[in-house]
Amino acid sequence: MYNVMVVEDQAMPRQLFEAFIAMSDRYTLVHSIKNADMADIYCEKTDIDLILMDVCTELNSSGLDAAERIKAKHPEIKIIIVTSMPEVSYLERARKIGVDSFWYKEVSEEPILELMDRTMAGERIYPDKTPSVSFGYIKSTDLSEREIAILREVIGGDTNAQIAEKLNMSPYTVRDYVKSIMEKTGFRTRTELAVKAREMGIIIPERKN
Amino acid sequence: MMSFFNLPEYLQYSVVFLCLVTLVINIYCVVSCVIFEAQRRKLNLNLLLTAFTSVLFYLFASANFVYRKSIKGHSLLLDIFSEYGWAFMALLALLSVLSVLSLYLVEKWKREHITPASIKEGIDRLPAGLCYHNEKGVPKLINHRMDGLCRYITGEPLFDGSEFWRRLTKGEVLPGNTVVKWGENPIITLSDGNTVSFTKIEREIGGRKMYEIRATDITKQYGLNLELQEYNNELRSLNTRLQEYGENVYDITREREILTAKVNIHDMLGKALLVTKRFIESGDESITKAELTDMWKATLYLFEGGFKESSEDGSLDELYDAAKLMGINLTVKGQIPSDNRLLRFIMSGARESLTNAVHHAKATELTVTLYYEYSFFVIEYTNDGRRPSKPISEGGGLSSLRQSVESEGGIMETEIFPRFVLRLKIPSKEVSYV
């Protein structure tokens, strides 16, 4: 039997995970918490083998930050990141941190229990790419890395000049990129572009603390 | 020999008139040479011509006058003119030709050289205002535009450059004009709607210190700048709204997640019902009783406790649980804010304090004190364990906490005497309590 901790702030998805664990005779639920900030504390005194970790948890605490702290102190604990956000940077960051597996709540076809079994068997399972969601006239995956980087700053509420300074580009180039993204997606204003990108979860701004 | 007096009367007058015209030309050339600082040779030549022509004019005019009025006692003058009148006329003709030639040369020189007058004429045509004055404020050169601006702004002609500049920099202008900016580079919107920017530069001209006041019409740029400012204000407000919106985006995403979970639960329930129906009706042997039981167990689990959404202080419950798990008795003093931003800091600080309390201080009590001090919301963590013997060396956790506090414009302090204190001071926009 493996001891599992669920870190998920929303009751319904959390209880769904708990139900899957209850269905299985290979896993025991030891903790089910809502705030990722507390996850590493729970790992201090409890023997945990596997964590199902959401990315955006209560008080906007980051599951990826928590995973990084836990992996630094307890590399033996397996972590599966579970998210519904198609944010491109999550996959990359999870790999960098050393997270064992990554599961998209809405689109991953593999049942979560099967993913848990394979992860505990030592496999690292990652989706090939982030889920593609409609973004105006295009798909989110049609955006280039540079476009994503600029869009991320646009969402942060920065002006072209500020974005240019951050990304070491000319303000005119930034303006052209923003214009090009708007033309491709069909969004008429910068605000509409930013709001849709956030709503669709294509880009989730990092919280400050 | 031809006598001057034998000529027809109109010719005599014509000769006197020609002499007068030649004299006027000569005087004009002399004045031009003096004013425009022409070459000395030209000045000397013209002075000589003027002298000769003056004498000749005097002689012709006098002889004519004496002859006409038959004044006695001037027989010698009349004799000379009767005898040598042709010679005087030839001399006049020569002087006239030379004078016209001199006039041509002087005008040509004026056209080909920059003179003070041409400089004045040039700066008068400038669209910008220009004034040069000395240290005492005495204007040495002012163009029409600057003089006009001075009248517009002060109601007086420009008599004193220093005083004009003082009034500009102090914003002392006639009513109707608007001071956009005073100080070193004043900008004034005139009552006619034009906006003018003034600058003053110290220059050294011919070894003397001079001051240049320059006025530039920036009406168009100023208008564009106002438009830009308006646009930037709109953009700032838009960006603020976007940032506020960012705070809510997680809620929107969670709504989607809940919806997906509902669909999954619906599917699970539907599947359990279908499989049970098949098991009962057709006795499907591919399904074991144990599998069926597990299926229902999971489905019923979802309905057992209902779906309790997280409460606002849910995280604090977890904080108490985590502390208990670590063997720490947690006490929170003060009012818990409802602002999620502040709650996040309370939790982040508590995580570090719990870890330090257990691993380093070997404490059993952790106290979190919350209070409001001026414009800061203060979170203070203390424990009953061993206090550090030397100043804290901030490791990964504390330094990352400091970074996040400071990025919000806050302050993080640590004290080791008389006991260990971790204090976070977070700027509070508007603190509201649960």
Is B202 part of any domain?
A: yes
Which CATH number characterizes residue A158's domain?
1.10.10.10
d(CA B403, CA B345): 12
Q: Is A161 in the same domain as A80?
A: no
pLDDT top residue among A168 and A19: A168
Query: Which CATH number belongs to the domain containing residue A53 in this structure?
Result: 3.40.50.2300
Q: Rounded to 5 degrees, what are φ and ψ at B176?
A: 105, -30
Q: Are A119 and A80 in contact (CB under 8 A)?
A: yes
Dump pLDDT digits (tens) for B118-141. Answer: 788 888 888 899 999 998 999 988
- Are B423 and B318 contained in the same domain? yes
Q: B309 lies in a domain?
A: no
Asked if B258's CB is within 8 angstroms of A35's CB, the reply is: no
Per-residue pLDDT, averaged over A142-167, amounts to 86
More confident residue, A121 or B291: A121
In whole angstroms, give the CA distance from residue A41 to residue A75: 15
Residue B397: the pLDDT is 78
Select from A59, A159, A201 the Cβ nearest to the Cβ of B343: A59
Q: How far is A124 from chain B (nearest CA, A)?
A: 24
Percent of residues, chain B, with pLDDT higher than 90 = 16
Q: How confident is the model at residue B432 (pLDDT cuts 50, 70, 90)?
A: very low
Contact A45 B326 (CB under 8 A): yes
- Which among B64-68, B190-194, B267-271 has the top mean pLDDT? B190-194
Specify whether B400 is located in the same domain as B416.
yes
3-state secondary structure (DSSP) of residue A19: helix
Helix (H, G, I), strand (E, B) or coil at A118: helix
* AA letter at B146: M
How confident is the model at residue A118, as a pLDDT?
Answer: 92
What amino acid occupies position A109? E
B318 → closest Cβ in A38, A105, A194: A38
Quickly tell me which residue has 């990652």 as its tokens. A126
Same domain, B88 and B36: yes
Domain with A35 in it: 2-120
Q: Amino acid letter at B203? A: R
Nearest chain A residue to B399 by CA distance is A209
In a domain, A128, yes or no: no
Beta bridge partners of residue B83, listed in sequence order: none
Tokens 């997640």 — which residue? B257
Coil vs helix vs strand at A114: helix
Residue B21 covered by a domain? yes
Do B193 and B262 fall into the same domain?
Answer: no
Structure ipTM over 0.95, yes or no: no
Beta-bridge mates of residue B213: B131, B200
Question: Dihedral through CA A107, CA A110, CA A111, CA A113, nearest 10?
Answer: -130
Contact B318 A199 (CB under 8 A): no
- Determine the angle formed by the axes of helices B219-282 and A11-23, rounding to 10 degrees: 30
Q: Beta strand B421-427 with A27-33: parallel, antiparallel or unpaired?
A: unpaired
In a domain, A32, yes or no: yes
Is there a single domain that holds both residue A156 and residue A56? no
Q: Is residue B91 part of a domain?
A: yes
pTM, 2 dp: 0.54
State whether A10 and B301 contact (CB < 8 Å): no
Let me know: does B171 contact B162? Beta carbons within 8 Å.
no
pLDDT bracket for residue B256 (50, 70, 90): low
Residue A19 lies in a domain: yes
Indicate which CATH number applies to the domain containing B162.
3.30.450
Question: Which range scores top for mean pLDDT: A104-113, B175-184, B294-303?
Answer: B175-184
Phi/psi for A101 (5° steps) reads: -145, 165
Q: How many domains does chain B have?
A: 4
* Pair B368, B332: CB distance under 8 Å: yes
Higher per-residue pLDDT: B390 or A126: A126
Domain range holding B79?
4-113
Same domain for B157 and B190, yes or no, is: yes
User: Is A168 a domain residue?
Assistant: yes
Q: Is residue A74 part of a domain?
A: yes
- Report yes or no on B158 lying in a domain: yes
Whether A51 and A110 share a structural domain: yes
Q: What is the pLDDT of residue A74?
A: 93
- For residues B291-318, give the mean pLDDT: 66
- Tally of structural domains, chain A: 2
> Whose CA is closest to B368, among B322, B399, B400?
B322
Q: Which of B252, B298, B408 sits opposite A19 (nearest CB)?
A: B298
Ranked by mean pLDDT, the top range of A42-51, B33-42, B339-348 is A42-51
Examine the domain organization and report whether B27 and B86 are in the same domain: yes
Predicted confidence at residue A79, as pLDDT, reads 95
Q: Within a domain: residue A93?
A: yes
Location of structure tokens 């080791």:
B416
Rounded to whole angstroms, the Cα distance separating B288 from B374 reads 68
pLDDT of residue B314: 60
Residue A23 domain flag? yes
Give whole-number Cα distances, B239 to A153, A155, A198, B292, in Å: 11, 8, 14, 55
Does B86 reside within a domain? yes
Which of A76, A96, A120 finishes a domain?
A120
Q: How many CB atoms lie within 10 A of CB A45?
A: 13
Last residue of a domain, one of B254, B276, B304: B304
β strands within A21-139, DSSP E: 27-33, 50-54, 78-83, 101-104, 134-135, 138-139
Q: What is the pLDDT of residues B201-225, one digit of tens each?
A: 999 888 889 999 999 999 988 888 8
Please write the tens of the pLDDT for every residue from B7-20: 787 888 888 888 89
> Across the interface, do B318 and A11 touch by the CB < 8 Å criterion?
no
Gap between the Cα atoms of B142 and A13, Å rounded: 82
Indicate whether B421 and B319 sit together in one domain.
yes
Give Cα B394 to chain centroid, integer Å.
Answer: 43
CA distance A6 to A13: 10
Mark whether B188 and B274 lie in a shared domain: no
* DSSP bridge pairs for A54: A82
Q: How sure is the predictor about B3, in pLDDT bands with cuts at 50, 70 and 90? A: low
Q: Is the pLDDT of residue B307 over 60?
A: no
**Which of B202, B217, B232 is the last residue before a domain boundary?**
B217
Mean pLDDT, chain B, integer? 82
Residues A93 and A49 placed together within one structural domain of the fold: yes
> Identity (one letter) of the amino acid at B144?
H
- Residue B432 domain flag: no
Pair type for strands B187-189 and B178-181: antiparallel
Closest-CA distance of chain B to residue A11, Å: 5
Which of A93, A120, A147 terminates a domain? The answer is A120
Residue A2 has pLDDT above 90, yes or no: yes
Find the helix packing angle between A88-97 and A63-73, rounded to 10°.
Answer: 10
CB B131 within 8 Å of CB B158: yes
Q: What is the pLDDT of residue A209?
A: 45
The answer to whether the CB atoms of B405 and A44 lie below 8 A apart is no
Residue B31 lies in a domain: yes
Asked if A63 and A90 sit in the same domain, the reply is: yes
Q: Give the confidence band of B182 by pLDDT, cuts at 50, 70, 90.
A: confident
Confidence of residue B431 (pLDDT cuts 50, 70, 90): very low
Binned at pLDDT 50, 70 and 90, residue B312 comes out as very low
Contact B344 A199 (CB under 8 A): no
| CATH code, B333 | 3.30.565.10
HEC-encoded secondary structure of chain B: CCCHHHCCHHHHHHHHHHHHHHHHHHHHHHHHHHHCCCCHHHHHHHHHHHHHHHHHHHHHHHHHHHHHHCCCCCHHHHHHHHHHHHHHHHHHHHHHHHHHHHHHHHHHHHHHCCCHHHHHHHHHCCCCEEEEECCCCCEEEECHHHHHHHHHHHCCCCCCHHHHHHHHHHCCCCCCCEEEECCCCCEEECCCCCEEEEEEEEEEECCEEEEEEEEEECHHHHHHHHHHHHHHHHHHHHHHHHHHHHHHHHHHHHHHHHHHHHHHHHHHHHHHHHHHHHHHHHCCCCCCHHHHHHHHHHHHHHHHCCCCCCCCCHHHHHHHHHHHHCCCEEEEECCCECCHHHHHHHHHHHHHHHHHHHHCCCCCEEEEEEEEECCEEEEEEEECCCCCCCCCCCCHHHHHHHHHHHHCCCEEEEECCCCCEEEEEEECCCCCEC
The residue from B81, B113, B145 where one domain ends is: B113
Give the span between the Cα atoms of B147 and B158, in whole angstroms: 6
CB interface of B with A, residues 362-401, below 8 Å? 396-397, 401
Residue B16 to residue B20: CA distance in whole angstroms: 6
Pair B141, B105 in one domain = no
Mutate to test the interface with B, among A15, A55, A112, A158 (most CBs of B within 10 A): A15
| B358 → chain A, closest CA residue | A44
Question: Which has the closest alpha carbon to A106: A76, A137, A80, A85?
Answer: A85
Q: Is the pLDDT of residue B6 over 70?
A: yes
Could you read off the pLDDT of B375-389 as tens digits, one per residue? 889 999 998 888 877
Same domain, yes or no: A104 and A79: yes
Find chain B residues with C-beta within 8 A of A20's C-beta.
298
Of B243, B294, B354, the CB nearest to A157: B243
Residue located via tokens 């005599």 = B12
Same domain as A9, residue A82? yes
Lowest mean pLDDT, pick from A67-71, B305-309, B357-361 = B305-309
Per-residue pLDDT tens for B325-345? 888 899 999 888 888 888 888
Q: A51: helix, coil or strand?
A: strand
Residue A209 domain-assigned (yes or no): no
Same structural domain, B269 and B331: no
Residue B88 and residue B151 in one domain: no
Q: Tokens for B278?
A: 């098949």
User: Of residues B235 and A1, which shows the higher confidence score?
Assistant: A1
φ/ψ of B384, rounded to 5, equals -100, 15
Rounded Cα distance, A129 and A132, in Å? 8
Structure tokens at B183: 């100080």
* Pairwise CB contact (< 8 Å): B253 & A60: no
CA dist A6 and A14 (Å) reads 7
pLDDT higher than threshold 70 for residue A117:
yes
Mean pLDDT of chain A: 86
Residue of higher predicted confidence among B404 and B110: B404
pLDDT at residue B302, as a whole number:
67
Taking CA–CA distances from B409, the nearest residue in chain A reads A208
Question: φ, ψ for residue B367 (rounded to 5)?
Answer: -115, 130
What value, to the nearest 5°, has the Cα angle with vertex A106 and ends A39 and A47? 25
Closest CB to B302 among A16, A59, A156: A16
Q: Of A87, A120, A153, which residue constitutes the final position of a domain?
A: A120
